[in-house]
């Protein structure tokens, strides 16, 4: 009797296993239309993971880096971190009466963002430093967590964490399922991203590379603290991206994903490595479902990069043509 | 017949599984003598990995950081990276005829290390910059690989990668087997460590945090390069260690391992976190098998840290008492 039971269990196990082995593997990229872009991703992963193939790459070397703004989540009508900074200016204004007469804060508090940003990069740095520094790392983390949990995108009125690209979430999952380690390499602030990238992208804090301010270790009442200083430590954009990769990861990625000229040096650096490499640009072509912009945009300009992608045969994703859905909400 | 075969297989499986479950687990730290130090490590790991326990820590949060010099490998008669730099001065001297009349190089080339280093930190920085900068990252990596493969320790005449501590290798393996991610956080140069840490410690480049020089991205004949500049980017020592951890890892370690006052802030930072934390100092007490030094040593001074460890109940490893073997070669 007992023997029969075991035999039945074992038989069931064998049959179940056979069923699994012969079943069609599910499509790893269901939100992608069939086409050159999707095929290029699937083919690359197949080649570098096939043992014995000349293109095989050991799991330890399977490093993939992703830009964030415009590549993993949207960046219009302006970088989300800048919208965060503007919200912080409003929240902090009562503690800064001097801002009423001081640009760029005065314009911001009157709701005139255009005028506030007329000061260009200098104005931007002033806003970022006033809102991102002068507190401990733990306090800043809490501020970001509170904001990302409650703030809404000015156009769609959805949480920012729902403004991520469903097809790119699938690429992240697909790569990790094939032994890749996925990193963010973004011009955005590293401490602005880390509080939510693990939950939203499955990317842990230690795999986020970004821009940063200097920090100072100090003791307050016997407790150690890290204080964020209003001084730039590292700008992880353009020429800074390969530097950030070397500094943080110490290996050249074999797959890179970006959407703008700010990512070009990262794509150049990765693809100049030996053996098979993969580079992909997300091209924002869908004015209906998202935004359409490239060569003449102030945000996420893709001009030199588009030419170089065509010349070098990098994958260029036409969002309108290649993506069945853009945001996760469209799937539901 | 077939059914009987399956039944036999299934029965065998069940018996084998029972056997595994009741077999004694092998000692994860065989090079450690039984005692408080070993017990503290094993007890900590048991607590944070026990589901349902109030001390349970999710695998994603199981971050452990290790100092390198004096904690994972030896640091006497001087830091191995300094010995590397001295070898590089000799190798590069033919390209630098001006060094014959310029300190600290002139003394070094005459074999007078003491006089060369009499200039203190300034002399040290000059030597490091002259030997660690001015080439591409790939060229520097190759130089380190060649040196580590051939250079010998001045006292033991063994390769430097055999001057690692067997008991600490076991701790690294034990932690990783329990879901920890292990990082190096060292005052040493990050690019001096990365070429060999994966092979020797099982720690991949992206989990090595260290001091660094600035780098510049440039194009040479259409190929992108990263050039190492003779300018300090980050010093990952003392107050710099918590900063380096936050910058690179973005999470507070739950277990920290060091051997000197240069690690004290890292231990303070980690143990000030919420919930259960583990801190360990390696105390160099074995003048026969290794070196004995602490409060008055110029290299790896352990003075404030020893007092604080005693006051706070951190684990202090007495190398002479606690370690059955020190170097891997003693096991053979």
Q: What is the pLDDT of residue A331?
A: 85
- Split at pLDDT 50, 70, 90, the class of B119 is confident
A226 Cβ under 8 Å from any chain B Cβ: yes
For B116-130, the DSSP string reads HGGGHHHHHHHHHHH
Tell how strand A255-258 and strand A278-283 pair up. parallel
Domains of chain B plus CATH, in order, are 32-77+164-331 (3.40.50.1000)
From residue B99, how far is each of A90, B85, B319 by CA, in Å?
Answer: 59, 14, 41
Beta strands B278-285 and A63-66, pairing class: unpaired
pTM, full prediction? 0.92
Nearest CA in chain A to B11: A6
Indicate the average pLDDT of chain A. Answer: 93
The answer to whether B244 contacts chain A (CB < 8 Å) is no
Residues of B in contact with A193 (CB under 8 A): none
Interface predicted TM-score (ipTM): 0.91
A5: left (phi over 0), alpha (psi -120 to 50) or beta: alpha
> What is the model's pLDDT at position A23?
61
Contact criterion met (CB < 8 Å) for B265 and A198: no
Q: Can you say how many angstroms the Cα of residue A152 is from the centroid of all Cα atoms in its chain?
A: 19
| pLDDT at B19 (0 to 100) | 46
CB contact under 8 A, A251 and B217: no
A104 prior amide bond cis, ω within 30: yes
Task: For residue B311, give both structure tokens.
Answer: 């006051």
CA–CA separation, B75 vs B291, rounded Å? 9
User: Helices then strands (H, E): number in chain A?
Assistant: 13, 7
User: Any idea what DSSP says for residue A78?
Assistant: S
- Is the CB of B223 inside 8 Å of chain A's CB atoms? yes
**Do the Cβ atoms of A114 and A95 come closer than 8 Å?**
no
Q: Which residues are paired to B323 by β-bridges?
A: B32
Q: Is the pLDDT of residue B22 over 70?
A: no
pLDDT tens-place string over residues A212-260 = 999 999 999 999 999 999 999 999 999 999 999 999 999 999 999 999 9
**In chain A, what percentage of residues exceed pLDDT 90?**
85
pLDDT at residue A1, rounded to an integer: 44
The residue that leads in pLDDT, B21 or A318, is A318
Tokens encoding B3: 């059914």
Q: Which residue has the tokens 């007490």?
A: B285
With 90 as the cut, is the pLDDT of residue A60 above it? yes
State the smallest CA–CA distance between residue A8 and chain B in angstroms. 8
| B243 inside 8 A of chain A by CB | yes
β-strands A63-66, A255-258 pairing? parallel
Helical packing angle, A120-132 and A80-92, nearest 10°: 60
Q: Nearest by CB to B60, from A9, A190, A204: name it.
A: A204
Cβ contact, residue pair A6, B4, below 8 Å: no
Under 8 Å CB-to-CB from B46, ≥6 apart: which residues?
none
**E strands, chain B, in order:** 63-66, 181-189, 208-220, 223-234, 255-258, 278-285, 292-293, 315-318
Closest CA to A272 of B219, B228, B215, B213: B219
Contacts with A219 from chain B: Cβ below 8 Å: 268
Question: Does residue B112 belong to the interface with chain A, where contact is any CB pair within 8 Å?
Answer: no
Q: Which residues of A touch B240 (CB under 8 A)?
A: 217
Distance of alpha carbon B210 from alpha carbon B134, whole angstroms:
19
Q: Which chain B residues are Cβ-neighbours of A242 within 8 angstroms?
A: 217, 224, 226
For residue A243, the chain B residue with the least C-alpha distance is: B215
* CA-closest candidate to residue B165, choices B299, B75, B35, B250: B75
> Can you read off the two tokens belonging to residue A78?
């302006």
* CA pair distance A277, A244, nearest whole angstrom: 19
């Amino acid at each position: 009797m007992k023997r029969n039971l075991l035999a039945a269990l074992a038989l069931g196990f064998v049959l179940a296993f056979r069923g699994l082995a012969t079943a069609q593997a599910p499509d790893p990229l269901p939100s992608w239309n069939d086409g050159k872009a999707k095929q290029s991703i699937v083919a690359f992963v197949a080649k570098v993971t096939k043992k014995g193939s000349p293109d095989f790459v050991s799991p330890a070397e399977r490093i993939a880096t992703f830009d964030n703004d415009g590549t993993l989540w949207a960046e219009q009508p302006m970088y989300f971190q800048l919208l965060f900074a503007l919200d912080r200016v409003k929240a902090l204004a009562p503690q800064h009466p001097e801002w009423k007469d001081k640009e760029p804060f005065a314009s911001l508090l009157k709701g005139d963002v255009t005028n506030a940003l007329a000061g260009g990069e200098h104005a931007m740095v002033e806003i970022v430093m006033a809102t991102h520094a002068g507190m401990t790392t733990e306090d800043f983390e809490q501020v970001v967590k509170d904001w990302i949990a409650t703030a809404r995108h000015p156009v769609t009125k959805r949480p920012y964490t729902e403004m991520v690209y469903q097809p790119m979430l699938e690429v992240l999952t697909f790569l990790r399922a094939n032994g890749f380690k996925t990193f963010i390499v973004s011009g955005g602030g590293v401490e602005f991203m880390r509080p939510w990238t693990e939950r939203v992208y499955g990317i842990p804090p230690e795999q986020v590379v970004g821009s940063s301010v200097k920090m100072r270790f100090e003791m307050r009442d016997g407790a150690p603290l890290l204080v964020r200083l209003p001084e730039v430590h590292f700008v992880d954009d353009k020429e800074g991206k390969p530097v950030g990769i070397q500094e943080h990861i110490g290996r050249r990625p074999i797959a890179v994903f970006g959407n703008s000229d700010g990512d070009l040096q990262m794509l150049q650096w990765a693809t100049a490595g030996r053996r098979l490499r993969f580079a992909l640009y997300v091209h924002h072509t869908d004015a209906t479902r998202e935004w359409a912009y490239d060569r003449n945009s102030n945000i996420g300009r893709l001009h030199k990069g588009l030419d170089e992608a065509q010349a070098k045969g990098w994958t260029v994703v036409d969002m309108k043509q290649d993506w069945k859905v853009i945001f996760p909400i469209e799937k539901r």
